[in-house]
Structure 1
Amino acid sequence: MRILFLTDNFPPEVNAPASRTFEHCREWVAAGHDVTVITSAPNFPAGKLFEGYRNRVFARETVAGIEVVRVWSYISANEGFLRRTLDYASFMAAATPASLAVPRPDIVIATSPQFFTACAGYLASRLRGVPFVFELRDLWPDSIRAVGALRQEPLLAGLEKLELFLYRKAAMIVAVTNSFKHRLADRGIDPAKIHVVTNGADLRLFRPRSRDTQLVRQLGLGGKFVAGYIGTHGLAHGLETLLEAARLLRSEGRDDIHLLFLGNGARKAALHARAREMALPNVTFLDTVPRSEVARYWSLLDASVIHLRKADLFSTVIPSKLFESMAMGIPVLHGVRGESAAIVEREGAGLTFEPENAWQLRDRLVELSRDRQLAGRLGANGVRAAGRYDRRHLAARMLGLVEQCAWQHGHSSLRPADERG
């Protein structure tokens, strides 16, 4: 089967959409399928081209057996609604004609969070006369409204109409949470065409390992209880709560507890400036590192902090870093309500706290730092549960759904695995 996948992010970028897409496509190639990815030149989140890449109209490379086509786009940092919209729209404008320059696929998949990529996927599917699968990673534009990035209700209403149009036109929707499926069904989308394939972790990369002593010395973390946030520093993440918890710990003389921030994003500069204003020697900021190096930094952590702002929409989200924390055997301090908190509690992989409540986060940090046996149990529980979220198994599940969709629409000579016997 020939699969065409459209995504705005792809390695060497290291955000969640890039990692999920790569890891799924890699497994599909290993299963014997031809996979082509149309994406942009890597630049996320700083809006600067990665070394060795140029922003060309059309460029090809092969990555782990995946045919990767990179198209020109307007490049901007992950900040500022207008410039980011130009970035997204330019990718749509370039990716759509690029879909005509690759062998005719049996199916087209496009991934959110933003819908311009999904628009390109829908247009490509119409141009090539094949089914369109919408991989739903975020309820956009609801997430824009939730963080206050756009307040013009007429424009938001227009985006919502586009959103519903894409849902209805998709032959299949693959959502990353059950909450997303319920939300769409409540809005009149046929639940029979909505399937759930959660995020997960590459267990070959993320697994328990000893603390990296070289990094411990380099960062001056010897003798510290290290709690870390690893991921995008965006508007939705409310990382000011972590800084306030660090301030509380500092005021109490708990300099043995150190907070480590690794990543970039729209709020990174402001957070760094705020930490300097607050004079927090117990906080360290680090820039994004290559995917192959991330596990070294995870190994530094005694606890992983996961946090989103207190908004109803975010109760539907399951941050992908949760599964990486579990796979690494790192207890989670989880400040996200809803479906993801239920996973943490069900698997016994961490402790929850109320979003945007720095006092509760401070209490959880102190509790884990004092009770290393509890921390060990939570980490061990996470490792045992991680097998249920192995990216290889999840990729196989999504492939089965894609095969079924292509077969049902008469665009694949390969019968789905569950019908081949």
Structure 2
Amino acid sequence: MHIAVFSQYHTNPDCPATSRHYSLLAQMARQHRVTLITTRTWERQRLTREFAWVPEGVELRAADVAYDNTMGVARRALAFGQYAAYSLREGLRIDRPDVIWGISTPLTAAWAAAQVARLRRVPWVFEVQDLWPAFPIAMEAVPSRLAQRQLYALEKSLYHSARHVLPLSPDMTAYVRGLGVPEGKLTTVLNGTDLDLAARATPEAVAALRRQEGLDGQRVVLYAGTFGRANDIPTLVAAAEQLASRCPEVVWLFMGHGYDEPLVRAAAARCSSIRLVSPQPRHAVFSWFRLAEVSVVSFLGLPVLDANSPAKFYDSLAVGTPVVVTNQGWTKTLVEKHGCGWYSPASDAAALALQLEKVLQAPAQLQAAGQAGREVASRYFDRQQIGTTIQAILEQVAP
């Protein structure tokens, strides 16, 4: 079977980003022909050279389209349009696929996949990584009411034209179901994590990292991910400063980059309990999570963000580090149900600092939550299991 994959952002484990589709494509390419239509956005951001850029057996078609999360709305829209045009052209040039797998975000990538599927008369499967256009509209990136209506109409048409829809969280699935998509067309496939890479975070590796970073005798809180507008970084910085005044033995590591990096850098300069850590390759990030006693996964208090499926949530639990979440959606439900983390209200720095102080004073509770997280990750978050589910769906919808 020939699978054509439309994904604007391809990464591999050498990149400072989740490598979800690298793992899934590697698994599928063992049995099927796979053509990936993507961009070279992340290729220049590789931090190591341990892994091939694409898995063995994957045919690559890549456009040279620049993109980063500091771009303004107009520049981002141009990048989206450039990839959509490229992928539409390449999708009509490649050998006719048996099925197309369109991955959003952005929504324009899924649109291109749908157009190629229509023109080549093949079925397509729509993977929903974020709720578009609800997310950019909530972030006030689409001020025009006419444009909003057009984007919502496009979104709904894509859900209905796809043979199957794969949302990355239960809340996303509920949202899509609410647009009238039949239950039989929906399968929730969590973002998940790479348990083989998580296994690299051995006690020896973590101890070496602790010595290397001068963290012996200190307790670590970790935020790892994008410093984007949606991630509520100002609240985390304020909470870190409040925590420092009450728990001087605690160091809060901010690992990543993005829009609010200058804010974090300034906080680290004035507060010795805050450290800015440069982005790490995917295969190394698990040791940083295991080094921490607790991690924080934060977003603004917008309903659309409650549906998110953040990679750092899965990665932390995979190595036994419990998580404090700040959105009220399915992640809050999961950590409370399984006892592998805690909830703190979004944009409330005082509440977050107090929650962290409380859990850090309860080592037995931290240990129990960490073990519960490992068990949840092993049972539900394994990308090999998730890949088997996705492959079965692609095989089922192919003629």
TM-score by length of 1: 0.87
Task: Give the conservation status (yes or no) of the 8 Å contact 1:74–1:91.
Answer: no
Task: Give the conservation status (yes or no) of the 8 Å contact 1:347–1:381.
Answer: yes
1:128 corresponds to which letter in structure 2? R
2:137 & 2:324 partners in 1: Cα distance?
Answer: 26
Structure 1 match to 2:202:
209
Structure 2 match to 1:159:
151
Task: Give the conservation status (yes or no) of the 8 Å contact 1:76–1:83.
Answer: no
1:393 & 1:50 partners in 2: Cα distance?
Answer: 27
Structure 1 match to 2:301:
310
Task: Give the conservation status (yes or no) of the 8 Å contact 1:5–1:35.
Answer: yes
- Cα drift, residue 33 of structure 1: 1.2
Structure 2 match to 1:384:
375
How many residue pairs get aligned? The number is: 392
SS of the residue corresponding to residue 222 of structure 2 reads: strand
1:123 & 1:269 partners in 2: Cα distance?
Answer: 41
Structure 2 match to 1:43:
42
The alignment status of 1:189 with 2:191, answered yes or no, reads no
2:318 & 2:68 partners in 1: Cα distance?
Answer: 33
2:229 & 2:130 partners in 1: Cα distance?
Answer: 14
Structure 2 match to 1:24:
24
2:132 corresponds to which letter in structure 1? W
- Structural mapping, 1:358-373, within 5 Å: 358-373=349-364
- Cα drift, residue 332 of structure 1: 1.1
SS of the residue corresponding to residue 378 of structure 1 reads: helix
Structure 1 match to 2:96:
104
Structure 1 match to 2:86:
94
2:390 corresponds to which letter in structure 1? M
2:48 & 2:17 partners in 1: Cα distance?
Answer: 19
2:41 & 2:282 partners in 1: Cα distance?
Answer: 13
Deviations 1:94-153 (A, max 9, x none): 111112333221101111121111111112212322111110111111111222333332
1:64 & 1:164 partners in 2: Cα distance?
Answer: 35
Structure 2 match to 1:416:
none
SS of the residue corresponding to residue 79 of structure 1 reads: coil
Task: Give the conservation status (yes or no) of the 8 Å contact 1:245–1:359.
Answer: yes
2:7 & 2:304 partners in 1: Cα distance?
Answer: 23
Structure 1: gaps of 5 or more residues: 54-59, 412-421
2:257 aligns with one of 248, 251, 264: 264
TM-score by length of 2: 0.91
SS of the residue corresponding to residue 111 of structure 1 reads: strand
Q: Percent identical across equivalent pairs?
A: 27
The alignment status of 1:325 with 2:316, answered yes or no, reads yes
Deviations 1:226-277 (A, max 9, x none): 010111221111121111111112333x22111111112233234434554x
Task: Give the conservation status (yes or no) of the 8 Å contact 1:41–1:72.
Answer: yes
- Structural mapping, 1:337-416, within 5 Å: 337-388=328-379, 389-406=381-398, 411=399
Deviations 1:329-388 (A, max 9, x none): 111112221111111112211122112221221122212322211111110111112122
Structure 2 match to 1:419:
none
CA RMSD across the alignment: 2.3
- Structural mapping, 1:75-154, within 5 Å: 75-154=67-146
Deviations 1:51-96 (A, max 9, x none): 899xxxxxx9752332222123244554311111111111111111
SS of the residue corresponding to residue 250 of structure 1 reads: helix
1:146 & 1:352 partners in 2: Cα distance?
Answer: 22
1:370 & 1:51 partners in 2: Cα distance?
Answer: 36
Structure 2 match to 1:415:
none
The alignment status of 1:239 with 2:233, answered yes or no, reads yes
1:143 corresponds to which letter in structure 2? F
- Structural mapping, 1:56-71, within 5 Å: 62-71=54-63
Q: CA 1:78/1:169 → structure 2, altered by over 3 Å: closer, same or farther?
A: farther
